Amino acid sequence: MQKLSETNMEQGEIEIKLSDLLFFLKTNWRKVLIGALIGLAFGGVYAFSKQNVYTAQIMVMPEIQAKGAGGLSSLGSLVGLAGLGLDNMASSDAVRPDLYPNILQSIPFALDVLNRPVFSQYLQKRLTLQEFLLQINESKFNLFNLFSNTEENSSGTKTNPGNSIQAIQLTKKQDSMIKAVHASVSALYDRKTGILTLSAVEPDPVVAATVAGLSLDYLANYVTTYRTEKARKQVTFLTQRVNEAKSRYQAAEYNLSSYRDRNRNLYLNTAKIDEQRLQADYLLEQSVYSELSKQLEQAKIKVQEETPVFKILEPATIPLKKSGPGRTLIMLGFMFAGIFLSLIIILFQNRHQIFRNV
């Protein structure tokens, strides 16, 4: 056995007996316990400094609309329901549902939501989301806020005062608020079922449900605006043309009627020629006005056809229970970290004795 032990040591192997491990723990259990208590104390301070958060969800089934032939659109819907996907067959100007989460992670969305009014159950007043986040963060003690510089966060530097390139200029305070919105709002699209789930996590249950609803409103307006932009521009263009054609039509009608009133008893050929010319202008303007009016009505119908539908399966409900933070898990994690650090410190302090025994 002695030769075997010497052989193992020559090969670089260290043999640790269970009795040695128990003796080590028996000798240093107080230090390990102190490390665990210290870690537990830090974990408790950190866990209770974090705010309670509530999660509200909305489940919607967006319409998968593909431009083109009706058969292709129907085929795209069937294949989408089968979970196979038909993204490449959709037209290039259609917003695919799998891009919806990217829309909710954009800066314009965060700026829009921050300026929307919400009602806080805890503060018992109505204010914007940005004001709510500022007040709720100031009223709650946070261990890491002690090391932050609030003056630096509230100040911002403008690299382009003239804003000649029409870029979005943000302060550090706005940037932190935008990051908070992006962290709290999320979207998940299931390709197989075609269901989109919007989630909002906020320190107030009513605010969480409100933010979830505002996210859906922004997403629906964004997609609707994108899909109907060409049709709406066509409606605007045709509306202007119809108004101009109507003015010309009414002017031609008035000129023809006035000419007939002035020349009621004349039978000259020149008078008849002028009347025929005015009547031809009148008929032309009437035809143009009638045709443009038809095109305008068709464009309005197309806007309605291009408008997507977001069918709500589960509306946003005010959560009754908090979804976080898991204070027990946080404290246990800090406790095990304290035990681990205490063992490392004990091994470091007794390193000479350990290597001498080895």
Using the predicted structure, report yes or no on whether residue 294 has a pLDDT greater than 90. Answer: yes
Which has more pLDDT, 114 or 82?
Answer: 114
Strand 195-202, strand 54-62: pairing = antiparallel
Domain ranges (residues) in the chain: 27-50+325-358, 236-302
Query: What percentage of the chain carries pLDDT values higher than 90?
Result: 23
Using the predicted structure, report yes or no on whether residue 225 has a pLDDT greater than 70. Answer: yes
CA–CA separation, 259 vs 269, rounded Å?
A: 14
| Mean pLDDT, the chain, integer | 76
Structure tokens at 331: 């404290």
The mean per-residue pLDDT over the stretch 333-357 comes to: 73
Q: Residue 315, preceding bond cis, omega within 30 degrees? A: no
Using the predicted structure, report yes or no on whether residue 87 has a pLDDT greater than 80. Answer: no
Q: How many CA atoms lie within 13 A of 254 on its CB side?
A: 6
Q: What are the residues whose beta carbons fall under 8 Å from the beta carbon of 307, sequence distance 6 or more?
A: 224, 227, 228
Convert the pLDDT of each residue in 183-196 to its tens digit: 999 999 988 888 89
Convert the pLDDT of each residue in 142-166 to its tens digit: 544 444 444 444 444 444 555 555 6
Which has more pLDDT, 250 or 266?
Answer: 250
Structure tokens at 283: 């008929």
Residue identified by tokens 């230090």 is 31
Which has more pLDDT, 10 or 304?
Answer: 304
Which has more pLDDT, 216 or 49?
Answer: 216
Using the predicted structure, report yes or no on whether residue 125 has a pLDDT greater than 50. Answer: yes
Backbone angles phi, psi at 111, to 5 degrees: -65, -35
Backbone angles phi, psi at 109, to 5 degrees: -65, -45
Using the predicted structure, report yes or no on whether residue 110 has a pLDDT greater than 80. Answer: yes
Say if residues 28 and 346 touch (Cβ distance below 8 Å).
yes
Query: What does the chain come to in residues?
Result: 358
CA–CA separation, 67 vs 72, rounded Å?
A: 8
Distances (CA, A) of 194 to 83, 90, 310: 8, 15, 11
Task: Give 51's DSSP letter.
Answer: P
Q: Poorest-confidence range of 53-57, 200-204, 334-338? A: 334-338
Distances (CA, A) of 174 to 76, 108, 135, 180, 338: 41, 12, 15, 10, 37
Q: What is the pTM of this model?
A: 0.67
The mean per-residue pLDDT over the stretch 126-137 comes to: 87
Q: What band does 328 get if pLDDT is binned at 50, 70 and 90?
A: confident
CA–CA separation, 126 vs 189, rounded Å?
A: 32
CA–CA separation, 36 vs 334, rounded Å?
A: 8
Give pLDDT, residue 88.
44
Put residue 106 in one of left, alpha, beta given phi > 0 → left and psi -120 to 50 → alpha.
Answer: beta
Give pLDDT, residue 151.
44
Give pLDDT, residue 65.
58
Helical axes 172-184 vs 107-114, angle rounded to 10°: 100
Give pLDDT, residue 68.
45
Say if residues 97 and 62 touch (Cβ distance below 8 Å).
yes
Distances (CA, A) of 162 to 165, 171, 174: 9, 16, 19
Coil, helix or strand at residue 88: coil
The mean per-residue pLDDT over the stretch 254-272 comes to: 74
